[in-house]
Chain A
Amino acid sequence: MKRFNAKRAEGLSPYTCMNALRQGSAATRLSAVVMGLGNMANGQIAKGLLFLAGELAYLWFMLRYGLHNLVMLVTLGSVEQQEIWDEAQQVFLYTKGDQSVLLLLYGVATVLLSAVMIWGWRGALRSAYKAECLRRNGSHVNSFREDLASLLDENLYRLLMTPPMFFIGALTILPLIFMICMAFTNYSRIGNHLVLFDWVGLENFAALFDSGSVLGSTFWSVLAWTLVWAVFATFTNYIFGMILALIINRKDTRAKGFWRFCFILSSAVPMFVSLLIMRTMLQPNGAVNVLLRNLGLIAPDASLPFFTDPTWARVTVIVINIWVGVPYTLMQLTGILQNIPGDLYEAAKVDGAGPVRTFFSITLPYMLYVTTPYLIATFTGNVNNFNVIYLLSGGDPITDLSSTAGSTDLLVTWLYKLTIDKQYYNVGAVVGILTFIILSVGALFTYRRSKSYKEEGGF
């Protein structure tokens, strides 16, 4: 907390908007209406003109499109497509109706643009006030040329951060808000709301949390399996990877490079190829079952229910995940093992510690210390592990006929089915938001409690 306050104090500047409005000159105060006026009054003509141009461009946009967008954001459109029979040409002609999705997108974009504009307005006001103060105190007021030069010097971060921020805003933040908005609408195939839809508030959330409904019960069962899967997928990989890494890393192990090469080989084949091959092999009439039949291990007509029995399917996906995941953990952990200072082990040996004691007192704490953030990242990755589930089992088998998810569906594959197959975009958005909340809360909580966070730079 102390650190946080300290950081804030550092950035405090006397040139705030409030001060500008309270203590600024007339020109400075007028900058709140005509942006850039204060700068121009204090000799920063080019900078002032730039602010003014920005304001004019924004006003033009708002009058031309923006206000319409904002009004449409409230109603999400109501004009239906019109159809006209053209007797002369013997065809039906169609006029364009409103499309709620586009209206929603434009509306959200306008709101974002306005937020950027408010930030610019604040900057203009502060800049005007700063120029005024400096001039009043007889200090040097930067010329436009000097301002530009400062972008390569003390303001370098602004220059470098602007392009990424622009793209993140347009390509990540905008779609994110857009999709979050969908959760509060009835944008869905149900009731034919694919073209025109409306705001419905929290109705979708209520439906999802109502455990009496099909959707609600599906949600809870999918959530439970998602968490079970994530725990198993993360820790089985971690443990098996660690065991392998330890064995290979032992002093007595010969041809270490060869062993590592062997185990990493399975990651040389693209993951989706291995997964699809596995899927084919494990079908009721796939290679594995045929082989077992030919060997006489199962009856000639029987087949092991890899993807047809819920429990089998769940174990199968976890086991195959070990196979595709262990090489990566192995690489990661080998690096860390080789990093543990050798004198720690020597000291332990002198003190008479055996291999078990050494492992639990030195190796494991060190590895956990370094890899906790990695474990959290893997856990989150596994909650959202679309590839493995979708390509291997596709969510099968489905035990509850009326449900939209199968026994191995994770939240993310279920989301895919809801949106792409079923076109229930609103419910999909709700599931997406909930996944995000569950993940971020879990990740932050564990991370904050981990040693890596508490003792930054320790060990």
Chain B
Amino acid sequence: MQGKMMRAAAALCTAAMLLTGCSGAAQNGQGAEKVRLMVWSPSEDQSQDSGRWLQTCCEQFAQQHPEWDITFVYGVADEASAATAVAQDPEASADVFLYANDTLTTMTDAKALAKFGGKYADELKATNSEALLDSLTLDGYIYGVPFTTNTWYMYYDKRAFTEEDVKSLDAMLEKGVVSFPFVNSWYLPAFYFGNGCTLFGDGTQEELGADFGGENAVEVTEYLVDLAANPNFKIDQDGSGLAGLRDGSIQAIFSGSWDAAAVEEILGENMGVAALPTYLLNGEEKQMYSYAGSKAIGVNTSTDYMVPAVELAMYLGSAEAQRLHYELRNVIPCNVELNADPVISADPVVKAQNDTFDRTSKLQPFVAQMNNCWTPVENMGKAIRNGTVTKDNAAEQTKAMNDAMNSDGI
């Protein structure tokens, strides 16, 4: 025990000596400190076809910091799966990586995600909206540099629906065919949120648990049974929504910015984008709410070069890098100033995404218990599709779903 402490102290001293020694050397102009940073991003950010966003940014960063002689090691890990790898073996993982905010607790539980404090936190607060930073804040500390919001909304064919129609799902179903990812638990809760169901209170109160039971949830389940049976309602699965849009059998789908290019290619100038519609439940209009999250750049706690890593993360999330990301890959920026830019704010997809984020979305909870909520909701969607959940057993099945969401399955 004591030996360990001694060793830790010794390690710290050496680290401190190394750092001071090296910065001294840099000042004397005798060469920069050698830094090795492993950076992970989705493969699209590194591919030649989409402009090598990551490499471009990293090289610019290196130019801005002559005090460091940086060797970059690039690796591929998309935002959804990076967390698993980082949490499983932090020491073998990247120093800087891109992650989706719903995986935040996976990494904080494994003590693999570094906090941003001091001047860096101040800068983040100055350039991002509070709601956005909330999606990366745990116990008052910010755990990443946001570079885009992450949510879903609606794409529709302007020839089929007017701007008035797309405010109500029921109006749309009368005029055309709507496809919705019914068996995907990132989408299905939209209806439950609409009727007052909550997850972990405001999203951070783990002790409150999931509230997808009760009479209001049963009403939604019954509504969903009817919805699934509606001939104008198609379940979007394995890309069937986009395929339907292409062959003309479907006129509206629900998806996010990653499908913007594909939809634009299919619909061209007839592409409409809008925030979520309302739906008619027992004669009342209820607003659908999507999950809102963010994607951010995180820093590994086991990095040997904390300052360069944090600086790089800040740079990759800066307005400059976000603009490049938007130009190369249509990644919607989240920087406040950038969103005020006339060119960017005129983009209908940006408009819809920001409108959704502000108005028709709920902060996606990332408390640890949230992990238990995905499968039961997905299974509810599948069960309604398969016809095993009907109006007769809706009450009982909704309760089962809620119980499962509040249980570890053990």
A and B assemble together: yes
Binding site for A on B (CB under 8 A): 1, 3-4, 8, 11-12, 87, 109-111, 114-115, 117-120, 231, 235, 237-238, 240, 301-302, 306-307, 310, 368, 371, 375-376, 379-380, 382-383, 385-386, 388, 397, 400-401, 403-404, 407-410
A396-412 vs B: 1/0 string, CB under 8 Å? 11111111100000000
Residues of B within 8 A of A218 (CB): 409
Contact B408 A92 (CB under 8 A): no
Contact A285 B386 (CB under 8 A): no
Q: Residue B301 contacts which of A81, A213, A283, A427 (CB distance < 8 angstroms)? A: A81
A96 and B368 contact, Cβ closer than 8 Å, known pairs A195-B111, A305-B386, A398-B375: no
Contact B111 A97 (CB under 8 A): yes
Contact A213 B410 (CB under 8 A): yes
Residues of A within 8 A of B397 (CB): 401
Residues of B within 8 A of A435 (CB): none
A189 and B410 contact, Cβ closer than 8 Å, known pairs A89-B307, A401-B376: no
Contact B408 A401 (CB under 8 A): no
Residues of A within 8 A of B240 (CB): 285
Q: Give A195 to B302 CA distance when docked, in angstroms.
A: 14
Residues of A within 8 A of B8 (CB): 82, 95-96
Contact A190 B118 (CB under 8 A): no
Contact B410 A94 (CB under 8 A): no
Contact B307 A91 (CB under 8 A): yes
A215 at interface by CB-CB < 8 Å: yes
Contact B410 A424 (CB under 8 A): yes
Q: Residue B409 contacts which of A89, A215, A285, A396 (CB distance < 8 angstroms)? A: A215
Interface of A is mostly: loop
Given contacts A194-B109, A402-B404, 10 further A-B contacts (CB under 8 A): A83-B115, A91-B118, A91-B306, A195-B111, A215-B410, A285-B240, A396-B382, A397-B383, A402-B400, A402-B407
Q: How many A-B residue pairs have CB under 8 A?
A: 110
Interface size on A, residues (CB 8 A): 48
Q: Give A415 to B235 CA distance when docked, in angstroms.
A: 30
A410-428 vs B: 1/0 string, CB under 8 Å? 0000000000001010010
Contact A89 B4 (CB under 8 A): no
Q: Give A280 to B111 CA distance when docked, in angstroms.
A: 40
A153 at interface by CB-CB < 8 Å: no
Residues of A within 8 A of B400 (CB): 400-402
Contact B302 A94 (CB under 8 A): yes
Give the nearest-CB partner of A215 in chain B. Answer: B410
Residues of A within 8 A of B382 (CB): 308, 396-398
Least CB distance from B184 to A in Å reads 14
A162 at interface by CB-CB < 8 Å: no
Least CB distance from A409 to B in Å reads 13
A277 at interface by CB-CB < 8 Å: no
In the A-B complex, the 8 residue pairs with the closest CB atoms: A402-B404, A90-B118, A94-B301, A308-B386, A404-B409, A401-B404, A81-B111, A401-B400
Residues of B within 8 A of A82 (CB): 8
Contact A190 B114 (CB under 8 A): no
Residues of B within 8 A of A68 (CB): 3
Q: Give A347 to B155 CA distance when docked, in angstroms.
A: 79
A331-344 vs B: 1/0 string, CB under 8 Å? 00000000000000
A87 at interface by CB-CB < 8 Å: yes
Residues of A within 8 A of B310 (CB): 91
Least CB distance from A208 to B in Å reads 9
A123 at interface by CB-CB < 8 Å: no
Q: Give A57 to B188 CA distance when docked, in angstroms.
A: 62
Q: Give A402 to B110 CA distance when docked, in angstroms.
A: 26
Least CB distance from B295 to A in Å reads 22
Give the nearest-CB partner of B382 in chain A. Answer: A397
Contact B231 A301 (CB under 8 A): yes
Contact B385 A284 (CB under 8 A): yes
Q: Give A93 to B111 CA distance when docked, in angstroms.
A: 12
